[in-house]
Amino acid sequence: MLHHGETPQQQFTEALGRGDSAQASYLWNNMNAQDRAKFERGEGITPQANPSAIAAQLEQHQEDEQGGEEDASPVTVEIPGDDQTSQ
């Protein structure tokens, strides 16, 4: 079967993330109507970021905001495991 432990929605999302449009198209065309509807609702997709790491970054941001120091630079949240860089 196509699943191999991951949902079709997760496989499709990962293929898009890798830039593998041929694989993503193949997966989309082989999804049934239910799987496509689930994708539209965000079901079957697991975030790649560690929830505890995100929570820690948000807590740090709140502490920085409460410190009263105004920082002109924008605040970014880094997602562990995201090797893509924007250029």
pTM comes to 0.51
Please check whether residue 24 is in contact with residue 15, taking contact to mean a CB–CB distance below 8 angstroms. Answer: yes
Weakest-pLDDT range from 23-27, 34-38, 81-85: 81-85
pLDDT of residue 55: 85
User: What confidence score (pLDDT) does residue 23 get?
Assistant: 94
Give the mean model confidence (pLDDT) for residues 53-81. Answer: 75
Average pLDDT over residues 54-81: 75
pLDDT of residue 83: 58
Q: Which long-range contacts (CB under 8 A, 24 or more apart) does 42-47 make?
A: 43/9, 44/7, 44/8, 44/9, 44/10, 45/7, 45/9, 45/10, 45/13, 46/10
Residue carrying structure tokens 């694989």: 23
